[in-house]
């Protein structure tokens, strides 16, 4: 059974935000998306239900770049009492799940009612498949790596990992419909074909999700969003990425300062910020 959601106050906020649009890549736009789903009678579910009745939506978030951005959207979902699943990379250059700040972010997402899943980048597999490779060997290799990363993530969040979603999956990976012993595959035939799957990849809805929800065209939805694209105020993609890079520079400076005595004498922060 899926949990019932949305207290009355959620509906009130909806009327105040009627000017927003699902397609708008802001926190407000995401809030509107949730309210639209609620208004159309969708129930919010996770990936590990035993049964999926009609009018179901699974909210999925892939954390590709920023745990901080994830926490902000997770806070919004907590306000509205909406459950969702957050997929976390273990093998990434963008964040380190063992860092104290990252652990706090993951804890916050869990406290907000979010479920943590593994976001797995299959491109790391050394046994890149071509047409002559053995599917079974490839799947076994993926299974082993997924289990290793799931164990690491489970240890960090102190909770079992029950769902895995591939990062930038190839068509082959999706078509393989890989089965995992102890985990649900978010790209399995059930969630990718029986559910209508829609994604905001690269800040772009390839399909009219607004219309899908309003018309209730699909009774089972998997909606993938990336919290990274939903700041408070709208930014173009280039502005967004530029800010992300400049923030990272300052974060690097701040980290250096914590580990480098009198850094300011060697590299002045103000000059650094000004690009000097």
Q: Say how far apart CA 242 and CA 121 lie, in whole Å.
A: 25
User: CB of residue 123 vs Zn ion: minimum separation in angstroms?
Assistant: 11
User: CB of residue 275 vs Zn ion: minimum separation in angstroms?
Assistant: 31
Q: Say how far apart CA 48 and CA 50 lie, in whole Å.
A: 6
Q: Say how far apart CA 65 and CA 226 lie, in whole Å.
A: 9
Q: Is 167 in the site for Zn ion (CB under 5 A)?
A: yes
Q: Which residues pair with 60 in a beta bridge?
A: 85, 224
Q: Which two tokens stand for residue 273?
A: 């910020």
Q: Considering the complex, state which of residue 43 and residue 84 has its C-beta at the smaller distance from Zn ion.
A: 84
Q: Is 35 in the site for Zn ion (CB under 5 A)?
A: no
User: CB of residue 185 vs Zn ion: minimum separation in angstroms?
Assistant: 15
Q: Which of 45, 56, 62, 228 binds Zn ion (CB under 5 A)?
A: 62
Stretch that binds Zn ion, among 97-105, 164-172, 251-259, 261-269 (CB under 5 A): 164-172
Closest CA to 230 of 118, 108, 76: 76
Q: Say how far apart CA 222 and CA 263 lie, in whole Å.
A: 48
The site for Zn ion, by CB under 5 A, has a size of 3
Q: Say how far apart CA 102 and CA 124 lie, in whole Å.
A: 22
Q: Say how far apart CA 28 and CA 252 lie, in whole Å.
A: 30
Stretch that binds Zn ion, among 144-152, 166-174, 197-205, 211-219 (CB under 5 A): 166-174
Q: Which residue is nearest to Zn ion (CB)?
A: 167
Q: Say how far apart CA 175 and CA 140 lie, in whole Å.
A: 16
> Regarding beta strands 220-225 and 196-199, do their DSSP bridges make them parallel or antiparallel, or are they unpaired?
parallel
Q: Is 149 in the site for Zn ion (CB under 5 A)?
A: no
Stretch that binds Zn ion, among 35-43, 138-146, 163-171, 232-240 (CB under 5 A): 163-171
Q: Considering the complex, state which of residue 64 and residue 162 has its C-beta at the smaller distance from Zn ion.
A: 64
Q: Considering the complex, state which of residue 199 and residue 219 has its C-beta at the smaller distance from Zn ion.
A: 199
Q: Considering the complex, state which of residue 2 and residue 178 has its C-beta at the smaller distance from Zn ion.
A: 178
Stretch that binds Zn ion, among 46-54, 106-114, 162-170, 187-195 (CB under 5 A): 162-170
Closest CA to 166 of 137, 135, 199, 136: 199
Q: Considering the complex, state which of residue 14 and residue 200 has its C-beta at the smaller distance from Zn ion.
A: 200
Q: Which of 56, 64, 197, 222 binds Zn ion (CB under 5 A)?
A: 64
User: CB of residue 20 vs Zn ion: minimum separation in angstroms?
Assistant: 25
Stretch that binds Zn ion, among 33-41, 54-62, 156-164, 190-198 (CB under 5 A): 54-62
Q: Say how far apart CA 220 and CA 195 lie, in whole Å.
A: 5
Q: Say how far apart CA 93 and CA 117 lie, in whole Å.
A: 18
Chain residues in the site for Zn ion (CB under 5 A): 62, 64, 167
């Amino acid at each position: 059974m899926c949990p019932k959601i949305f207290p009355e106050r959620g509906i009130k906020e909806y009327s105040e935000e009627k000017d927003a649009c699902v397609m708008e890549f802001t926190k407000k736009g995401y809030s509107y998306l949730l309210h639209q789903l609620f208004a159309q009678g969708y129930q919010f579910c996770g990936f590990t239900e035993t049964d999926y009745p009609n009018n179901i939506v699974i909210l999925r978030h892939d954390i590709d770049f920023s745990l901080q951005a994830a926490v902000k959207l997770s806070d919004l979902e907590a306000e509205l009492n909406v459950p969702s699943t957050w997929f976390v990379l273990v093998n990434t250059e963008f964040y380190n799940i063992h860092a104290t700040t990252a652990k706090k972010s993951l804890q916050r997402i869990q406290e907000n009612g979010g479920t943590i899943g593994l976001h797995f980048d299959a491109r790391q597999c050394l046994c890149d498949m071509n047409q002559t490779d053995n599917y079974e060997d490839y799947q076994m290799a993926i299974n082993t790596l997924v289990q290793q990363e799931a164990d690491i993530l489970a240890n960090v969040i102190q909770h079992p990992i029950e769902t895995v979603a591939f990062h930038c999956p190839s068509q082959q990976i999706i078509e393989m419909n890989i089965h995992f012993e102890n985990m649900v595959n978010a790209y399995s035939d059930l969630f990718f074909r029986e559910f209508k799957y829609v994604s905001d990849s690269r800040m772009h809805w390839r399909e009219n999700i607004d219309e899908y929800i309003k018309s209730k065209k699909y009774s089972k939805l998997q909606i993938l969003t990336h919290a990274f694209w939903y700041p408070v105020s709208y930014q173009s993609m280039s502005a967004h990425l530029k800010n992300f890079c400049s923030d990272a520079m300052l974060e690097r400076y701040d980290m250096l300062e914590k580990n480098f005595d009198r850094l300011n004498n060697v590299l002045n922060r103000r000059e650094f910020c000004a690009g000097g």
